[in-house]
Amino acid sequence: MTTTTTTPLWEVFIRPRSGLPHKHCGSVHAADAELAVQAARDVYTRRGESVSIWVVPSAAIVASDPNDKDQLFEPTASKIYRHPTFYDIPDEVGHM
Amino acid sequence: MYTQGLNSKDDKPAGPEDTARLGRFQAIVDAEDKIEPNDWMPESYRKTLVRQISQHAHSEIIGMQPEGNWITRAPSLRRKAALLAKIQDEAGHGLYLYAAAETLGISREELYEQLLSGRAKYSSIFNYPTPTWADIGAIGWLVDGAAIMNQIPLCRCSFGPYARAMIRICKEESFHQRQGYEIMLTLCRGTPEQKAMAQDALNRWWWPVLMMFGPSDKESLHSADSSKWKIKRFSNDDLRQKFVDATVPQGHFLGLTFPDPALAYNEATQHWEYGEIDWSEFKRVITGDGPMNKERMARRRATEADGEWVREAAAVYAAKRKARQAAAKVAAE
């Protein structure tokens, strides 16, 4: 095969309906942004899954390190006072 | 299934450092949690998945050919539109799966190269010809039916990207099977010639479809690791039996007979028992000597070569635009 250069990878985000956020759904290879949107449309929206597409160069994404998972996210598990159910309100007060 | 060529073994002993990580890895798998691309995983897990997912992807891509054979000759616009949509889905499924394989650290170019050079395998089923329209019905009903049987448990596979790809694929696949069965039903309710055509297709596809599930459990080398890692949840023979049990009544509803004199319902086990599969045929076809292997590969290579100028032009255009944008930015500053 004579592929000259590696075609860049793009991450695809689709918005299923207006009012909802764009959500990651997969990735495509494409030479440029315009072709990436086209490819994303063909690959990920054949059944009315989307009203809007974002494509982002995969190389531009900065992600947290899986090894830091505990350090980053574990502390929130012990902070139960951040949830409304932590506080006792008498039933007589009604819904709050 | 689409990954029947997994039947070879490679072993490498784990080092001392690996043992602790291996324990953590297995604990995640045992807890039915998912392994994600950046998580540590044993090399053999990675290798098995690259091989399985890429074989699956190659199968989707090669699988477009037997059906593509009938696009221009579909008997009505309705059938043609459905067939086109189905084949487009197969391309989409191939792409979801290539993307999942790439998260394991192999490039798309390498994956293509493995297919085009003949080093990578794809499902034996796509090396059979489609001489009549009834074959399109039989493929949807039987080949896609067998694929669904295999793919539903893969939606719960331990590797996140593969599981997510399979969920999408399974959602789309059920239309494939129904459109195939509908073609068979129409033929079976048509003229005697049409019904005979449906019967002929069943006769030719039945045994190759049973082979799709891969070697019998006695011969299958990879099952132990794959089930420990929750990649594979049911054995080849279990899935094959499930498929036979589901499919035989559907065939009888069509008024067709199966080309297996040993096929009989066992009241005690509540299963349909089937005759001996010709494994020598399976081995021949999977290693390259099936009726259509050469043609399928030749077509795939020609398509790849024919598309080269398009990829090249797109890359050159993208580079030119990038350079122009950079120049405009400099000019503006």
Q: How confident is the model at residue A28 (pLDDT cuts 50, 70, 90)?
A: very high
CB–CB of B112/B138 below 8 Å?
Answer: no
What element of type H or E holds B273? strand B271-273
Inter-chain contact A3–B109, Cβ cutoff 8 Å? yes
Strand locations in chain A (E): 9-15, 23-29, 52-57
| Cross-chain residue pair A1–B318, CB shorter than 8 Å | no
| Contact between chains at A46 and B311 (C-beta distance less than 8 A) | no
Q: Give the residue with greater pLDDT, A16 vs A4.
A: A16
**Residue B47 confidence (pLDDT):** 94
pLDDT at B17: 67
Start-end of H helices in A3-85? 33-44, 69-73, 75-78
Tokens of B174: 């059920």
CA B7 centroid distance within chain: 16
Structure-token pair, residue B110: 């390498």
Instruction: Confirm whether A3 is domain-assigned.
Output: no
Q: Is the dihedral of CA B57, B59, B65, B67 positive or negative?
A: negative
Which helix (H) or strand (E) covers residue B271, if one does?
A: strand B271-273
Residues B4-40 as b/e (b if ≥16 CB within 10 A, e otherwise) read bbbbeeeeeeeeeeeeeebeebbebbeeeebbeeebe
The distance of B314 to chain A (nearest Cα, Å) reads 6
Q: Calculate the CA dihedral of residues B230, B234, B237, B243 and round it to 10 degrees.
A: -140
For residue B16, what pLDDT is reported?
Answer: 64
**How close, in Å, is residue A66 to chain B by CA atoms?**
6
**Residue A1 belongs to some domain of the structure:** no
- Beta-sheet strand order (sheet of A9-15): A23-29, A9-15, A52-57
B8-28 pLDDT per residue, tens? 444 555 566 688 889 999 999
Largest Cα span, chain B = 84
With cut-offs at 50, 70 and 90, classify the pLDDT of residue B250: very high
Chain B neighbors of A63, CB-CB under 8 A:
38
Per-residue pLDDT of B112-162, as tens digits, reads 999 999 999 999 999 999 999 999 999 999 999 999 999 999 999 999 999
pLDDT at position B222 is 62
Q: Could you tell me if B302 lies within 8 Å of chain A, comparing CB atoms?
A: no
Q: Which amino acid is at B76?
A: S
At residue B3, the pLDDT reads: 59
Among the partner residues B89, B304, B318, nearest to A1 by beta-carbon distance = B304
Inter-chain CB proximity B109 and A5 less than 8 Å = no
Tell me which chain A residue has its CA closest to the CA of residue B115. Answer: A1
Confidence of residue B333 (pLDDT cuts 50, 70, 90): confident
Give the model's pLDDT for residue A76. 76
Contacts with B99 from chain A: Cβ below 8 Å: 26-28
A1 vs B112, B165, B312: nearest CB: B112
Domain enclosing residue A34, as ranges: 9-93
Residue with tokens 């082979």: B211
Would the CB atoms of A43 and B96 count as touching at under 8 Å?
A: yes
How far, in Å, CA of A4 to CA of B106, rounded? 17
Residue A87 domain flag: yes
In total, how many domains does chain A have?
1
Query: Best of B25, B103, B106, B109 to disrupt the A interface by mutation (most A CBs within 10 Å)?
Result: B109
Instruction: Using DSSP bridges, classify how beta strands B271-273 and A9-15 pair: parallel, antiparallel or unpaired.
Output: unpaired
CATH number of the domain where residue A65 is located: 3.10.20.520
Is there a contact between B137 and B183 (Cβ–Cβ < 8 Å)?
yes
Question: Is pLDDT at A7 greater than 80 in this prediction?
Answer: yes
Q: Mean of the per-residue pLDDT values for chain B?
A: 92
Residue B38 and residue A26: Cβ atoms within 8 Å?
Answer: no
The answer to whether residue B65 scores a pLDDT higher than 50 is: yes
Instruction: Name the average pLDDT for chain A.
Output: 89
Judge whether B92 is closer than 8 Å to chain A, CB to CB. yes
Q: With beta carbons less than 8 A apart as the criterion, state whether B245 and B273 touch.
A: no
Task: Summarize pLDDT for A39-71 with one digit per residue, the tens.
Answer: 999 999 999 889 999 999 999 999 888 788 888
Residue A4 forms part of a structural domain: no
Which chain A residue's Cα is nearest to B175?
A47
Q: Does A12 touch chain B (CB under 8 A)?
A: no
Q: Is A51 on the interface with B (CB under 8 A)?
A: no
B254 close to B188: Cβ distance less than 8 angstroms: yes
Nearest CB to A6 within list B85, B109, B317? B109
Contact A28 B96 (CB under 8 A): no
CA-based nearest residue in chain B for residue A43: B92
**Mean pLDDT to the nearest integer, B243-271:** 98
pLDDT-derived band at B219, boundaries 50, 70, 90: confident
Contact at 8 Å (CB) between B111 and B101? yes
Cβ atoms within 10 Å, residue B255: 12
